[in-house]
Structure 1
């Protein structure tokens, strides 16, 4: 059993497709199929059921998947540990950042990092916080810069870098904009435009309403905050947006409720040895936290 076959197996299991897995690993589909066939022969078990275009794990495949992931993580961890001994800051650094952080927080840190460590190849992805979180948990990412989860997994190490104050906002001609103060009960009577139900930001908003046994009237949802801001600007509803996105075209409501603040920062896996490249990236992030930038 070799690592190439295990990588192929994990890729097919995660994508549910031989062709997408082949693209992911830069292989031909025939080479991918051959690797899976060799692994199945070595284990004397069929790992995938192929019905039409649908690929699904067999019972043996489901049993193997967590073990295969663990083996690959251990091997990658060993490689990083040995590479770190040289003290060089090089190689590939896999980082994911949420769309909001990518636009509003990351550029100064990234500019400083690529200037200081030109030998590092950045594998930079722009994902929703929840997707990046899962990829760190699975071990496919070293670092993720995200809205931190209110209930993090025990295997996740997290560190707050930025505090994001959130404001309830409406268009200037919205009925609520004329009020001196607004209650959550009043807000719940009007359509809301919030991020998706699985997002950490949405969870913070709903948590505040649920404490009063209220539920916001969600008219629309999208995970792109800039899109939400646009929809609020044209009067489609109210929203809860970061203070950094509160433009002159929006009215900030004085809500009779505690200020909502979300924590933005980085996460890593507690059991993963970080590369020198990742350690230096984290140092720059923590310097940004001390500066309050």
Structure 2
């Protein structure tokens, strides 16, 4: 049993896919399968049930998973602590960010970081904030740069970097475009185009509607904010978008609703030491 086999096992278990695990680990699918096969042979136990295209952990796999995660996390923490003793800022740094932040917030910070620390190899993954949140919790990434959770996990450290004002928007041809002093009850009379349930942004909006005891009439849900902007521009309904996405195709609704602000920033694990590259990136993002 070696760490490469355990990493392959943990990644397949998390993603539920050999092909996706291979892509994330920069390996071929046969290479991933070979590592899993060797691990199963060494343990004399089947770790996955493969039913059609679906993969499920066996009882043995469920026993191994938390232990494998602990082994990998301990080894990584030890490696970071030893590396940090040198004071050098080099090596690989695994981070993840949402598509929106990666496109509209991060570029100047990444440019400055690469110029300041050219010996650091940045491995950046793009995913939904909620997926990244869980990934940092499991040790997949050192830092997540995401929409922060309204209800932080006790094992994660959240650092607010940006206050992201959200706007109710619609097409210029939508009835709400010419309305004044729009309230939540008014929005409840029209179809909404929103992020999917369970997302941190959707939680903020749900709280407002729940407090006002107003039903939220959702017509379409997607976690791609650019798609929501496009749909809103067609007149299909209203949406809630950050100010960075406002353009001439949509108009801000004149509402009397208190501004919804989502917090964007960095998340890391409280019980895992950050590498020198991670510490420097956190510092740069918070001070630039």
With normalisation by structure 2, the TM-score equals 0.92
Asked if the contact 1:97/1:127 (under 8 Å) is kept, the reply is yes
- Comparing 253-262 and 67-76, the one that deviates more: 253-262
Aligned partners of 1:251 and 1:27: how far apart in 2? 46
How many residue pairs get aligned? The number is: 288
CA pair 26-143 structure 1, distance change in 2 beyond 3 A: closer
Structure 1 residue 22, shift from structure 2 partner: 4.9
Q: Which residue is 1:284 aligned to?
A: 284
Residue 5 of structure 2 aligns with which residue? 5
Shift of 1:16: 3.6
Per the alignment, residue 191 of structure 1 pairs with 191
Residue 105 of structure 1, CA deviation: 0.9
**Which residue of the partner structure matches residue 204 of structure 2?**
204
Aligned match of 1:45: 45
Q: CA deviation at 1:220?
A: 1.2
CA distance in structure 2 between the partners assigned to 1:19 and 1:169 by the alignment: 39
Q: Where does residue 179 of structure 1 map in the other structure?
A: 179
Distance 2:253 2:24 in 1: 47
Residue 225 of structure 2: aligned partner: 225
Paired with 1:245 and 1:52, the residues of 2 have a C-alpha distance of 41
TM-score of the pair, normalised by structure 1? 0.90
Is 1:236 equivalent to 2:268 in the alignment?
no
Quote the offset at 1:180 in angstroms. 1.9
Q: Deviations over 1:159-182 (max 9, x none)?
A: 100001111112222112222211
Report the Cα offset of residue 118 of structure 1: 0.6
Give the aligned CA root-mean-square deviation in angstroms.
2.0
Distance 1:5 1:156, change over 3 A: same
- Distance in 2 between residues matched to 1:8 and 1:69, nearest whole Å: 11
What is the Cα deviation at residue 254 of structure 1? 2.7
Residues 26-105 of structure 1 correspond to what in structure 2 (within 5 A)? 32-33=32-33, 35-51=35-51, 54-105=54-105
- Give the direction of change, closer, same or farther, for the CA distance of 1:109–1:171 in structure 2 (3 Å limit): same
CA contact (8 A) 2:180 2:255 kept: no
Partner of 2:88: helix, strand, or coil?
Answer: coil
Task: Flag structure 2 segments of 5+ consecutive residues without an equivalent.
Answer: none
Relative distance call for 1:54 and 1:194 in structure 2 (3 A) is closer
Q: Deviations over 1:226-248 (max 9, x none)?
A: 22112212211111111222224
Deviation string for 1:255-289 (max 9, x for gaps)?
2322110000010111111111001000111103x
Change (3 A) 1:192 1:50: closer
Shift of 1:108: 1.0
**CA–CA separation in structure 1 for the residues paired with 2:264 and 2:157:** 13
Which whole-Å CA distance do the structure 2 matches of 1:239 and 1:32 have between them? 42
Aligned to 1:116: 116
- Asked if structure 2 preserves the Cα contact closer than 8 Å seen for 1:136 and 1:143, the reply is yes
- How far apart, CA to CA, are the structure 1 residues paired with 2:86 and 2:7? 27
Query: Could you tell which deviates more after superposition, 1-10 or 125-134?
Result: 1-10
Q: 1:215, CA displacement in angstroms? A: 2.1
Unaligned runs of 5+ in 1: 289-293
| Structure 1 range deviating more: 24-33 or 136-145 | 24-33
